[in-house]
Amino acid sequence: MGTVVSKKKMGLAVAQMGAVNLADSRAVVVARLVEMLKEAASRQAELVVFPELALTTFFPRYWMSEEEAIERFFEKTMPNKDVEPLFEAARKHQIGFYLGYAEITEDGRRFNTSILVNKSGKIIGKYRKVHLPGHSDHKIEAPFQHLEKKYFEVGDQGFGVWDLDGVRTGMCLCNDRRWPETYRVMSLQSAELVVLGYNTPSENIHWNEPVHLRTTTHEIVLQASAYQNGIWVAAAGKCGYEDGYHMIGSSMIVAPSGEIVARATGEDDEVIFTNIDLTLGQGFREHVFNFEKHRRPEHYKLIVERKGAGEPLDIGVND
Site membership for ligand CDT, residue 178 (CB under 6 A): yes
Using the rule CB under 6 A, give the single segment among 5-13, 76-84, 192-200, 229-237 that binds ligand CDT: 192-200
CA triple 289-160-45, angle to 5 deg: 80
Region of 22-30, 99-107, 197-205, 252-260 interacting with ligand CDT (CB under 6 A): 197-205
Q: Report in angstroms how near the CB of residue 197 gets to ligand CDT at its nearest.
A: 9
Residues 6-65 that bind ligand CDT (CB under 6 A): 52
Cite the active site residues.
Answer: 52, 129, 174
Distances (CA, A) of 315 to 180, 296, 299, 303, 312: 25, 17, 12, 17, 8
- Residue 230 interacting with ligand CDT (CB under 6 A): no
Question: With respect to ligand CDT, which residue has the nearer C-beta, 150 or 178?
Answer: 178
Residues 6+ apart with CB under 8 A from 17: 32, 33, 36, 50, 51, 54, 236, 237, 238, 239, 269
Are 109 and 124 in contact by the 8 Å Cβ rule? The answer is no
Q: Does 225 bind ligand CDT (CB under 6 A)?
A: no
Which of 18, 96, 125, 134 touches ligand CDT (CB under 6 A)? 134
Residues 147-175, buried b or exposed e (16+ Cβ, 10 A)?
Answer: bbebbbeebeeebbbbebbebbbbbbbbb
Please report whether residue 100 would count as binding ligand CDT according to CB under 6 A: no
Beta bridge partners of 106: none
Q: Which is nearer to ligand CDT, 121 or 237 (CB)?
A: 237
**Nearest CB to ligand CDT, comparing residues 88 and 209:** 209
Nearer to ligand CDT, 38 or 135 (CB): 135
Interface residue list for ligand CDT (CB under 6 A): 52, 133-134, 146, 174-175, 178, 198-200
